[in-house]
Amino acid sequence: MKKLVSALALGVAVSMVGLTIATDAMALPDYSIERSYYSDATYSTVTGEWSRECSGFTHSWGAVTPYYIDIQDPCPLSCKLHPEKCLE
């Protein structure tokens, strides 16, 4: 009987971990990010950009370099409460 209870407890624990991981993977971001890449440390010539919207959609173009600037904007609470509105 003890083995059965232990096995059931382990099964529930593993299921909860899987549920937490799946929920986190589907969560929308708290911030949108726009990252601009530059050719050198003068930050005068843009070589590419990468962005992630509040919907989770990402877009990029150009060349990635070690010189970049991020701009973050908080996503509206409505995206968390009604994600379908942010996916449009």
Say what the pLDDT of residue 56 is: 87
Report d(CA 55, CA 30) in Å as an integer: 10
| 10-residue averages of pLDDT along the chain (88 residues) | 54 49 64 96 97 92 97 86 71
Question: For position 50, what pLDDT does the model report?
Answer: 97
For residue 38, the surrounding DSSP H or E stretch is strand 31-38
CB 32 within 8 A of CB 54: yes
Q: What is the pLDDT of residue 3?
A: 59
Enumerate the domain spans of the chain: 2-86
What is the per-residue pLDDT for 20? Answer: 44
Kindly report the pTM of this predicted structure: 0.63
What is the rounded distance in angstroms from the CA atom of residue 44 to the CA atom of residue 67?
Answer: 10
| pLDDT of 72 | 96
